[in-house]
Structures are given as structure tokens and as C-alpha cells.
A and B are shown apart, each in its own frame.
Chain A
């Protein structure tokens, strides 16, 4: 029952938590990705440099990962038009709700934030309902 893929997932999660700790200890910030990304888009954000560097580190690792193991990064099963709509919703929603899976789900929950717990429960429910509707309607393939 307990397969090694769960252990790899735990390890991957631990690295995600470690990265959040590095940003906190080094820069004193909560590095939600929607916040890092959205901050780059707003004029007059003082701390552009570390945000850009953080995203550059993510991209570099993404390039490296896809070279080492091509199957580790796959495309979305949804048609591109749906992906575009999904992107609009995620971009709008994360800025409106002040956070994403990482900001609320990892950083916020680790700090026992009430707002983050409410946000996580909300997006798990709407995400679950969305996936269920797509499945019942026949899926993307």
C-alpha cells in the first residue's frame, strides 16, 4: 500500500518547505508564488531583484529537470483554450484571494493562519467540484 512514490512525494514536499524557510530566514518574506509573480507586474515594487532571481531559479531548475527526466514535466490534459481560461481564473483568483497553493497551503498553514485555512478549504472544494464536473462530462480526451 505504502509505495515509494509516497516517499518521493514527502521528500519533494520537504524541499518545498525548505525553500519557503530559506526565503523567510534569508529575506524575511513569505514567498507565495502568486505574490512573487504579481509583485513583478506592479509598478513601483521596490524589491524586484529577489523576485526576479527567485523566478529565474525556478526556470533554470525547470530546464534542468526536463533535460534530466523529460517525463517529469508533462503538459496539461485540457485543450489550450481551456488552459487559457484556467490561467485567467488562477491569475485573477490568486491576486484577489492573496495567495495560491504555496502561499496559503504551505506558508499560511504552517503558521496556523485562519485566512489561509479558509482559503485552502475553499480552493480544494471548488477545485474538486470542477474536476468532478469535467469527469462526469466525459473528461478532456
Chain B
């Protein structure tokens, strides 16, 4: 129960951050990616603020051996670069550039009732399911 309350609070803080940062305005996001055009550098400040705050937070909490409301810290162990990672990131970037949505801002934008957010969230959910199914098919033919 405590974990769910913490997660709800974190989700709300994250969403407020995204809104203040302008990430829920797809035109602004596209402007950030448009380096050769009318480039809008605002989102670089968002990234800088987010990374600085998170590095600070990790440093302040680095002496803890367990989290407050769970049994252990869970970190991805892989450090190698593989084709899946780069291909997936590449495909993600194309979708991000087309509509100006990445997953977080799209979910937050659902709250405004914007039709494009709803279409995006439904389609992204379908994309994730297709990926799960194709990977499972490849692993167990």
C-alpha cells in the first residue's frame, strides 16, 4: 500500500515536471528535434535539469542498501551494445519525431482529452503488444 502511494505521488510529480517543461506540447518537442530549422533549445534545459536532479538524488541516497518500501534495488545488468537496442531506439526516434510524443507526455496528455493523445496511447499500446508477441514467437518457434 505504501509503495502504491509513493508511486502515485512520484507519477504526479513527474507529470507536473513534464507539463512545466513543455513536453506535453508536441510542437515544442518537434521544435527541439528540428536542429536544422527553427531550433528550440528549451528541452535541452529540461534534460539538464532532470539529469542534475537525479544525479544529486542518487548521490544523496547512495549509502542506502535497500529501498524504503521494497526488498531490494533492481538495476539492469547489461552493459553491451546490441542491434536490438540501437534498432529499437532508432524506431522510437522516428515515431517521436513524427508526432512529437514520447510515452510519458502522451499518458499525461490523456488528462486533457486531446484526441491525438488518445490515438497515440492506443497505438503505442498496440506497438508494445506486437513487440511482445513477435519476440515470444522468435524465442519459442
Interface residues of A (CB under 8 A from B): 5-6, 8-31, 33-34, 37-38, 41-42, 49-66, 70, 72-78, 80, 82-102, 104-107, 109-111, 113-115, 118-120, 122-132, 134-135
Contacts and interface: CB of A to CB of B under 8 A. Distances in A.
Interface of B: 3-27, 30, 33-37, 41-43, 45-58, 61, 64, 66-76, 78-81, 84-104, 106-117, 119-132
A119 B11 CA distance: 24
A13 B16 CA distance: 10
Given A21-B61, A118-B86, A80 B54 contact: no
Given A26-B70, A30-B74, A74-B26, A17 B53 contact: yes
A52 to B, nearest CB: 8
Contacts, number: 494
8 contacts: A12-B23, A16-B53, A49-B7, A58-B108, A62-B110, A74-B114, A78-B100, A119-B89
Binding site secondary structure of chain B: helix
B102 A90 contact: yes
B100 A9 contact: no
Nearest to B114: A75
Nearest to B131: A95
A66 B103 contact: no
A107 B54 contact: yes
A76 B30 CA distance: 9
Contacts of B92: 89-90, 93-94, 97, 100, 123, 126
A58 B64 contact: no
A57 B47 contact: no
Most buried by B among A5, A90, A109: A90
B95 A86 contact: yes
Contacts of A125: 90, 93
Given A62-B109, A90-B127, A84 B119 contact: yes
B98 A97 contact: no
A93 B70 contact: no
Given A41-B128, A75-B117, A87-B122, 5 more contacts: A38-B128, A60-B11, A94-B92, A96-B84, A97-B91
A22 B103 CA distance: 19
Contacts of B97: 126-131, 134
Contacts of A42: 132
Nearest to A97: B88
A38 B130 CA distance: 11
